[in-house]
Amino acid sequence: MSGHRVVHAFAHRGGRAHGPDNTLETFRAALSLGAVGLETDAWLTRDGTVVLDHDGVHRAAKRRHEPMAEVRRDELPAHVPTLDELYVACGTDFELAIDVKLPEVGARVVEIAREFNATSRLWLVGGTPGLLSSWGRLDPDVHLAMTVRPAQGRAATALAARTAGADALNMRWMWWTARRVRQVQAMGVLAFAYDAQSTFALRRTARLGLDGVFSDHVDRMTSVLGIAR
């Protein structure tokens, strides 16, 4: 689609339409399909390892339903990767958006990204200005995004996000309007949309002038938005 402004396009959970969520195989597949960005969620295990999993709950064998923080890395199934393993397997030639719920996890994520010289392509995504403020002091190259609900999506929320250091405001694709996109961008904040799965949703993100999108369907996203690596 000509004239679109969507330049930050992330394969949600590694592009889970093409394989199991948050696995190295799915991350690799997304990049081979042309993804320019990957999205995942990060948690700390009891022994301080950053692992990539959607809800942070261990679901295997006798330790079923225990939080990641209560199990060691070696107690997790082999398909649950660490952040280090992602960088080793896939390199750093892509944007990486990581949804993080706890300040200490964000701090460790930044440390690892720095070890791989990847901070300039790292996005930390959180749900409160407080989280973003805590991360903003970690590294000047790291990008920050705040996810909000539609009731929060007023200009005041964008301003609060920007004050906290946010580079982007992230809402579900259907909650954005052209007016809201313009308001957010006028404050110097990028407009990101998540859960854009259908061709219709992806075309709408481009038509509204959104800056970023998260989708499970890498092939559809790159085709509709005209993205090429």
pLDDT at 62: 52
The CATH class that applies to domain 8-42+90-225 reads alpha beta
User: What are the start-end ranges of the H helices in 116-177?
Assistant: 129-136, 155-163
How does DSSP classify residue 219? H
- Going by their DSSP bridges, the two strands 212-215 and 8-11 should be labelled as parallel
Calpha distance 121→142 (Å, rounded): 7
Adjacent-strand bridge partners of 121: none
Q: Which tokens in the block code for residue 132?
A: 């973003």
| pLDDT tens, residue order, the chain (229 aa) | 444 467 899 999 999 999 999 999 999 999 999 999 999 999 999 999 999 999 877 665 455 567 888 899 998 988 999 999 999 999 999 999 999 998 999 999 999 999 999 999 999 999 989 999 999 889 999 999 999 876 665 667 888 888 899 999 999 999 999 999 999 999 999 999 999 999 999 999 999 999 999 999 999 999 999 986 6
Please state the φ and ψ torsions of residue 159, each to the nearest 5 degrees.
Answer: -65, -40
- Going by their DSSP bridges, the two strands 122-126 and 212-215 should be labelled as unpaired
pLDDT at 149: 78
Calpha distance 214→11 (Å, rounded): 6
Q: CA 71: distance to chain centroid?
A: 24
Residue 48 CB burial class (10 angstroms; 0-12, 13-18, ≥19):
exposed
Query: Contact 115/124 with Cβ under 8 angstroms?
Result: no
pTM for this prediction: 0.93
- Residue ranges per domain, the chain? 8-42+90-225
DSSP 99-122: E-SSHHHHHHHHHHHHHTT-GGGE
Please state the φ and ψ torsions of residue 175, each to the nearest 5 degrees.
Answer: -90, -10
List all residues 6 or more positions away from 191 whose beta carbon is below 8 Å from its beta carbon: 168, 169, 176, 180, 181, 184, 185, 208, 209, 210, 211, 212
List all residues 6 or more positions away from 150 whose beta carbon is below 8 Å from its beta carbon: 171, 172, 175
How many CB atoms neighbour CB 188 within 10 A? 10
